[in-house]
A = this chain, B = another copy of it.
């Protein structure tokens, strides 16, 4: 069965990058014989591989076809040179994320090894309501979806401070009108994040671009124009025809 195969693949996570057959069997709640048969098929095809210790790991061939995903690698391909430009200017972190369900998915990250703290990993998920890229994506999502998120009890992620839905709504409006999201964080290390929307061919926001710098490194005021300009240039490369937002005056909620 095919759901079994996917269950096998999803058994792998960031902190479970390699699994034995027995582990796979337990995690997916499948009898060992079935698991073995399936794992073999996947190995044969290249979706899984066995590492030096005989443990199962995600395979190169799966990555190869996944590299054709337009919203991930396809986007990245176009964005990377622009990200490099930002990277050279800041020499800290440059992030590119798209929305998937109720999370932001980090599609690319450039980081100097002299840069601060490791943040999120490429391929990992970020909360929408407490990161720069997340806020940008949320601010430009369909209103219905925004309501759904706003209806939940939210907290600022690392600190655990509760976040009122009214305050968040105000933030989103401001993000739409200014064209950037600015997040200042004290924990775990003081930093500024500045993020801007990236638009696709039909004008809708398809991704968010961001830089993250330690507090004192550069003022968000200075970074914002660079972010806006770079995101706009990237949008143009993606086929976004006309000039951008033309933000609804007063930050009206229902725009779409």
Contacts and interface: CB of A to CB of B under 8 A. Distances in A.
A110 B80 contact: yes
A17 B9 CA distance: 22
Contact of A60 (B49, B71, B111): B71
A32 interface: no
Interface stretch (A50-58, A146-154, A210-218): A50-58
Contacts of A105: 60, 64
Given A2-B2, A70-B17, A111-B81, A65 B9 contact: yes
Interface string A70-101: 11111001001100100110000000001010
A70 B6 contact: no
Given A51-B70, A58-B65, A77 B13 contact: no
Contacts of A122: 67, 73, 77
Contacts of A61: 100
Interface string A33-53: 000001001000101010110
B70 A123 contact: no
Contacts of A38: 2
A10 interface: yes
A112 interface: yes
Contact of A72 (B14, B60, B68, B71): B60
Contacts of A100: 60-61, 64
How often does this chain occur in the complex, in copies? 2
Interface of A: 2-3, 5-6, 9-10, 12-14, 17-18, 38, 41, 45, 47, 49, 51-52, 57-74, 77, 80-81, 84, 87-88, 98, 100, 105, 110-113, 121-123, 202
B113 A77 contact: no
Contacts of A14: 68
21 contacts: A2-B2, A2-B38, A2-B41, A5-B5, A13-B68, A51-B70, A58-B66, A58-B69, A59-B69, A60-B105, A61-B100, A63-B67, A63-B71, A63-B72, A64-B105, A64-B123, A66-B66, A67-B122, A67-B123, A77-B121, A84-B113
Closest 4 interchain pairs by CB? A67-B123, A66-B66, A81-B113, A63-B72
Q: Most chain-B CB neighbours within 10 Å: which of A6, A71, A73, A88?
A: A6
Given A64-B123, A81-B112, A113-B81, A69 B45 contact: no
Given A62-B62, A62-B69, 14 more contacts: A2-B5, A5-B5, A13-B68, A14-B68, A49-B69, A51-B70, A60-B98, A63-B72, A63-B123, A64-B100, A66-B67, A80-B110, A81-B111, A84-B113
